[in-house]
Amino acid sequence: MHIKVLKIEPGKHPVADELETSIEAFNRAVSIGADEIGKACSKKLGNSIYILYNPYGCYYDLQPNRKVGKEIIVGVFYVIGVDADYHPRSLTKREIEKYMYLFWEPETYSDSDIIENNFDMVYNSLEGLEKL
């Protein structure tokens, strides 16, 4: 099954896209630009909205992308919807427009910004994917 998502790449404007709803597909999707397939994790962004990303992106020399909360996300990430049972679902047209507006402008960060902001991200971000 495929779902409608918002794809956000470093240095680019967000685009509407589709993702297959399997762990393997999620892992491949968040590993764009990496030499190895990483592990996709999720982070709550809003009511029934999560981001899907690779918390180890900085170890694969992926480019800094956007700041979400206090964390700088490195590499590509996706905005996805989840239903009441935490299963992935397509974003609505309104949700796509809302998050496209939120993440429209690309952001830039230095290596020191990444180190300072993401020091403990590996330990704090590995929750949530098992619910998907």
- Rounded CA separation 85/131 (Å): 8
Mean pLDDT of the chain: 86
Query: Given this model, what pLDDT does residue 126 score?
Result: 46
CA dihedral sign, ordered 69, 124, 66, 128: negative
Does residue 1 register a pLDDT over 50? Answer: yes
38-58 confidence digits (pLDDT tens): 889 999 999 999 999 998 877
Bigger pLDDT: 5 or 116? Answer: 5
- What whole-number percentage of the chain has pLDDT above 90? 64
74-132 confidence digits (pLDDT tens): 899 999 999 999 999 999 999 999 999 999 999 998 877 777 776 545 444 444 444 45
- What whole-number percentage of the chain has pLDDT above 70? 88
67-89 confidence digits (pLDDT tens): 998 888 989 999 999 999 999 99
